[in-house]
Amino acid sequence: MTELARTPRSSVPDGKAVRLEGGPDGICLVRLGERFFALADRCSHADVHLSEGEVDADECSVECWKHGSSFSLLDGLPQSLPATGPVAVLSVTIDGEEVVVSA
């Protein structure tokens, strides 16, 4: 696997998404408790950053702020229209106090 980014765990607030530079689209990194999820940071419907959207911890998803499509943090599949295509899911590992995102 190719490492795309790394950031301190403490830099990712619980229940929020942050944008990291890395990969062709950037990275949308989400923390839910002690679990971290990473998606390509570009909505498959519109060219906007998913990291600027709302996180739904109960649904384990992130919503695109522009048109309201939500995407599963588990598999990148769209959970609502207008998006019909998935976004790439990236690998997340923990290295001490850092979160490492890889492709």
Where residue 80 sits, what CATH number does that domain have?
2.102.10.10
What would the two tokens of residue 90 be? 């990236």
- What pLDDT, in 10s, does the model give residues 60-100? 999 999 999 999 999 999 999 999 999 999 999 999 999 99
Question: In the chain, how many domains are there?
Answer: 1
The pTM of the full predicted model, rounded to 2 decimals, is 0.96
Quote the domain boundaries for residue 24: 3-102
Q: How many residues does the chain have?
A: 103
d(CA 94, CA 21): 18
d(CA 30, CA 3): 17
- What pLDDT, in 10s, does the model give residues 22-46? 999 999 999 999 999 999 999 999 9
